[in-house]
């Protein structure tokens, strides 16, 4: 079984506890997460393999571990609770921290570099495309003006500039005004969309027969990618209307629509408010 987004090991702990016969491969691009998970999962030593990698590298990871296919894969997308709760990572607009936002703090550009060096049109595109922010141009223009006075170094100043860029009436609805812009920066910096577009088909290919994959996504960009990939492999390849007996698809949807968290779950874990769950099973063929 693969936990493609290991984080601090919460999901892995439950899987290893409830399924005592599985061997779990945990993948994370965050070295800090790997260290936390090693401690949390120490009692399962011998049943776990933890790998520092990005989840679109899953086929290579499981091959290196000696497996040709797997029986289960879990994705819990987006930023982890652990990353949000560590102010120095700069993911949260609710805490003052350096503008970093890299999931792998050893690689790539920081949020500060993006905010302080990218042009206004490119910033607006990022905010619009990855955050679905309707005030993207206003926010970008304000950032350009403010950085001419002083470069951005921390999350609280950026959050305040974003807040001031949005009309007062809009600020009072839909959560924190900086939410969408911070999401957009994080997605762009970590190349999350491109990686996910590669990762989901690759993961589907390495499922064993009767293997299952579950994906938890937290915004529409992620969910659309998952829905599109799942629909493609669970639909007959014969065009509708042709007088040909369709070949059964190799995959079966376990969730026709995305499923949301229950009220009880949300009350216990407010971060589950926006979660969407999709699941699929491989019913034919073999792992590629």
Indicate which CATH number applies to the domain containing 157. 1.10.150.170
Tell me 154's DSSP state: B
Tell me 216's DSSP state: E
27-82 pLDDT, tens per residue?
999 898 999 999 999 999 999 999 999 999 999 999 999 999 999 999 999 765 55
Q: Note whether 202 and 271 are same-domain residues.
A: yes
Q: In the sheet where 276-282 sits, what is the strand order?
A: 48-52, 24-28, 2-3, 70-76, 207-217, 276-282, 251-253
Q: Using the 3D structure, point to which of 166, 189, 212 is the last residue of a domain.
A: 189
Q: Note whether 48 and 72 are same-domain residues.
A: yes
Q: Domain total for the chain?
A: 2
Question: What Cα–Cα distance (Å) separates residue 73 from each residue in 40, 133, 220?
Answer: 20, 32, 21
What does the pLDDT read at residue 266?
86
* Structural domain containing residue 110: 105-189
Above 80 in pLDDT, residue 196? yes
Q: Using the 3D structure, point to which of 189, 210, 230 is the last residue of a domain.
A: 189
Q: Note whether 127 and 267 are same-domain residues.
A: no
The CATH number of whichever domain residue 24 belongs to comes to 3.40.50.150
Alpha-carbon distance 32 to 29, whole Å?
9
What does the pLDDT read at residue 51?
96
Q: Note whether 148 and 175 are same-domain residues.
A: yes
**What pairing do the DSSP bridges indicate for beta strands 70-76 and 207-217?**
parallel
| In-domain check, residue 261 | yes
| In-domain check, residue 162 | yes
15-27 pLDDT, tens per residue?
999 999 999 999 9
Q: Note whether 174 and 202 are same-domain residues.
A: no
What does the pLDDT read at residue 86?
59
What does the pLDDT read at residue 89?
60
Q: Note whether 214 and 182 are same-domain residues.
A: no
Q: Using the 3D structure, point to which of 154, 169, 189 is the last residue of a domain.
A: 189
Owner of token pair 């571990």: 65
* Residue 276 CB contacts under 8 Å (≥ 6 apart), including other chains: 216, 217, 218, 223, 258, 259, 260
Q: Note whether 112 and 179 are same-domain residues.
A: yes
Alpha-carbon distance 140 to 121, whole Å?
8
pLDDT bin (cut points 50, 70, 90) of residue 279 is very high
């Amino acid at each position: 079984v693969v936990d493609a987004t290991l984080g601090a090991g919460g999901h892995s702990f439950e899987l290893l506890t409830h399924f005592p016969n599985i061997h779990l491969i945990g993948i994370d691009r965050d070295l800090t997460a790997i260290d936390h998970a090693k401690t949390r999962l120490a009692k399962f030593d011998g049943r776990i393999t933890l790998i520092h990698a990005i989840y679109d590298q899953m086929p290579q990871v499981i091959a290196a571990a000696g497996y040709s296919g797997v029986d289960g894969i879990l994705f819990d997308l987006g930023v982890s609770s652990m990353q949000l709760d560590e102010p120095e990572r700069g993911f949260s607009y609710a805490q003052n921290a350096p503008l970093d936002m890299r999931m792998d703090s050893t690689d790539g550009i920081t949020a500060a570099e993006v905010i302080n060096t990218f042009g206004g049109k490119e910033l607006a595109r990022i905010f619009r495309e990855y955050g679905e922010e309707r005030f993207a141009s206003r926010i970008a223009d304000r950032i350009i003006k403010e950085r001419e006075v002083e470069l951005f170094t921390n999350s609280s100043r950026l959050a305040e500039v974003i807040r001031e860029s949005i009309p007062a009436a809009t600020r009072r609805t839909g959560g924190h005004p900086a939410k969408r812009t911070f999401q957009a920066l994080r997605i762009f910096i970590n190349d999350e969309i491109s990686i996910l577009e590669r990762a989901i088909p690759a993961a589907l290919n390495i499922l064993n027969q009767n293997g299952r994959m579950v994906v938890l996504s937290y915004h529409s960009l992620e969910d659309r990618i998952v829905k599109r990939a799942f629909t493609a492999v669970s639909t007959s390849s014969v065009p509708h209307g042709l007088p040909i007996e369709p070949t059964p698809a190799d995959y079966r949807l376990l969730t026709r629509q995305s499923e949301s968290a229950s009220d009880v779950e949300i009350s216990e874990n407010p971060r589950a408010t926006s979660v969407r769950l999709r699941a699929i099973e491989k019913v034919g063929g073999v792992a590629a």
